[in-house]
């Protein structure tokens, strides 16, 4: 083995260097400067956990961003996941439309989410957007509601850009379902179980682990959604659609308040870990089997 040691080192070096430059150093910067007061042009000054307290007690934008992100995580790990799973159950019947539907459903997931955001910005455009045109055709003339700029609908309009597009989950669940031995399903039918019953009692429990994984991916993706928000609302009107990534971006690169932005970044990592832990616990993914 020792004669291979130099090869092992050589093979690990590139990956390690990339890791150090793009992850390790920034992560160290993130944690250390989260305890400092640091704005553009000044040197970081150690202030203990002041930023951490300040964000929670004194910053309504951060709180709002946290609440919004929380709501989106909840919606995404329930409705979004359910939609993806339901679609998988239907497509698993392998009717003539299944491949086409699977391919088409993936399109919104595969394109740049900035572009998806742009599409929906135009779809919800008050004058020429498809949504308002449709409403006008259906009878409400002069309907000119501005979805993204109105307090009452901005949140909904943003949510629509990611909530229905659960093709990733559909694909994961479909793949897992194909590994269920057909004999088990046949046995269920012979015992007189209907399709719905088989799905609920047999298929879903057997794929619960992949549903857990899907939920994990869906929930944590809500800590990444910056491009869609930037293209559509920038967090507005006011802070109605502000999420944590947008808050970090605003604080770091517009207000140049680096210390505070990095504290928010640490909070984001903590929230991510809590989400991962809870979903693991809910779906019992740590246990070896059901």
Q: Which is nearer to other proteins, 168 or 188 (CB)?
A: 168
Residue position matching structure tokens 């990444």: 224
Q: Mask 259-288, x = binds other proteins (CB under 8 A)?
A: --xx-xxx-xx--xx--x---x----x---
Rounded alpha-carbon distances, angstroms, from residue 146 to 125, 127, 135, 151: 7, 9, 13, 10
Q: Which of positions 38-77 make contact with other proteins (CB under 8 A)?
A: none
Round to whole Å and give the CA distance between 77 and 264: 23
Indicate which single residue of 68, 77, 159, 168 sits in contact with other proteins (rule: CB under 8 A).
168
Dihedral Cα 184, 190, 195, 201, nearest 10 deg: -50
Round to whole Å and give the CA distance between 159 and 75: 9
Round to whole Å and give the CA distance between 97 and 4: 53
Q: Which is nearer to other proteins, 23 or 189 (CB)?
A: 23
Give ∠ CA 163-262-113 in degrees, rounded to 5: 25
Q: Is 189 in the site for other proteins (CB under 8 A)?
A: no
Indicate which single residue of 92, 217, 236, 237 sits in contact with other proteins (rule: CB under 8 A).
217
Contact 47, 35 (CB under 8 A): yes
How is 18-57 classified by DSSP, letter by letter? HHIIIIIHHHHHHHHHTTEE-BTTS--EE-TTHHHHHHHH
Q: Mask 84-123, x = binds other proteins (CB under 8 A)?
A: --xx--x------x--xx-xxxxxx-xxxxxxxxxxxxxx
CB of 148 to other proteins, least distance (A): 12
Q: Which is nearer to other proteins, 116 or 185 (CB)?
A: 116
Q: Is 138 in the site for other proteins (CB under 8 A)?
A: no
Stretch that binds other proteins, among 60-68, 181-189, 200-208, 256-264 (CB under 8 A): 256-264
Round to whole Å and give the CA distance between 99 and 146: 37
Indicate which single residue of 198, 220, 239, 241 sits in contact with other proteins (rule: CB under 8 A).
220
Q: Is 124 in the site for other proteins (CB under 8 A)?
A: no
Q: Is 7 in the site for other proteins (CB under 8 A)?
A: yes
CB of 99 to other proteins, least distance (A): 9
Residue position matching structure tokens 């002041």: 50
Q: Which is nearer to other proteins, 149 or 183 (CB)?
A: 149
Q: Is 129 in the site for other proteins (CB under 8 A)?
A: yes
Residue position matching structure tokens 């809590």: 274
């Amino acid at each position: 083995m020792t004669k291979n040691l130099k090869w092992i080192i050589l093979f690990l070096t590139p990956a390690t260097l990339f890791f150090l430059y793009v992850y390790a150093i920034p992560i160290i910067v993130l944690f250390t400067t989260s305890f400092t007061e640091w704005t553009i042009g000044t040197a970081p000054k150690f202030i203990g956990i002041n930023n951490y307290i300040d964000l929670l007690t004194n910053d309504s934008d951060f709180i709002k961003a946290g609440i919004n992100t929380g709501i989106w995580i909840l919606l995404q790990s329930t409705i979004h996941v359910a939609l993806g799973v339901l679609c998988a159950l239907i497509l698993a019947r392998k009717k003539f439309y299944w491949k086409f539907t699977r391919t088409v459903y993936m399109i919104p997931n595969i394109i740049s989410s900035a572009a998806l955001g742009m599409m929906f910005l135009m779809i919800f455009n008050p004058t020429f957007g498809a949504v308002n045109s449709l409403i006008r055709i259906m009878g409400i003339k002069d309907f000119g509601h501005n979805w993204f700029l109105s307090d009452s609908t901005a949140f909904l309009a943003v949510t629509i850009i990611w909530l229905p597009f659960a093709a990733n989950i559909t694909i994961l669940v479909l793949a897992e379902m194909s590994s269920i031995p057909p004999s088990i399903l046949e046995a269920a039918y012979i015992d007189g179980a209907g399709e719905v019953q088989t799905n609920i009692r047999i298929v879903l429990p057997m794929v619960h682990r992949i549903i857990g994984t899907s939920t994990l991916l869906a929930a944590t993706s809500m800590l990444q959604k910056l491009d869609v928000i930037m293209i559509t609302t920038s967090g507005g009107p006011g802070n109605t659609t502000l999420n944590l990534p947008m808050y970090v971006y605003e604080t770091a690169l517009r207000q140049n308040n680096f210390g505070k932005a990095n504290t928010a970044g640490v909070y984001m990592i903590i929230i991510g870990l809590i989400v991962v832990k809870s979903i693991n616990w809910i779906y019992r993914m740590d246990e070896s089997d059901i």
